[in-house]
Amino acid sequence: MTDAAGALKQAMTVIEGAIGAALVDYNSGMALATLDGPGGLDLNVAAAGNTDVVRAKMRTMDMLGLSDGIEDILITLSSQYHLIRPLTSRSGKGLFLYLALDKGRANLAMARHQLTRIEADLEV
């Protein structure tokens, strides 16, 4: 099992093209842990903004009567991918992993796979 800091360090080192990672509480919008890379992102701003994305999607799913869980949310920019992965464990309820990737260097399928593995090892 890995703690939050270890999980983010693993994401930044094993996922090709990673430029920033955070563990976020989407009830408060606060980042519980962040690790910035060469992208220079303000991960606290990203945490708050992506909290709105997660809340909106959950609200929409509720209004549609969908009972599926969200595996991840992908935001594609011209030069970056932003992955949001709500945690599914009981201890991770209300949290999500956020990962920003350099689109030119990242393999999106591999990044999603590795982020899933990191989540599985995360102990909150």
Structure confidence at residue 102 (pLDDT): 96
Structure confidence at residue 39 (pLDDT): 66
Query: What Cα–Cα distance (Å) separates residue 31 from each residue in 51, 88, 103?
Result: 10, 18, 23
Structure confidence at residue 66 (pLDDT): 95
Structure confidence at residue 93 (pLDDT): 84
pLDDT, one tens digit per residue, over 65-121 is: 999 989 999 999 999 999 999 998 777 789 999 999 999 999 999 999 999 999 999
Strand extents, DSSP E, the chain: 18-25, 30-36, 73-76, 80-86, 95-102
Structure confidence at residue 91 (pLDDT): 72
8 Å CB contact between 104 and 26: no
pLDDT, one tens digit per residue, over 36-56 is: 987 689 999 999 999 999 999
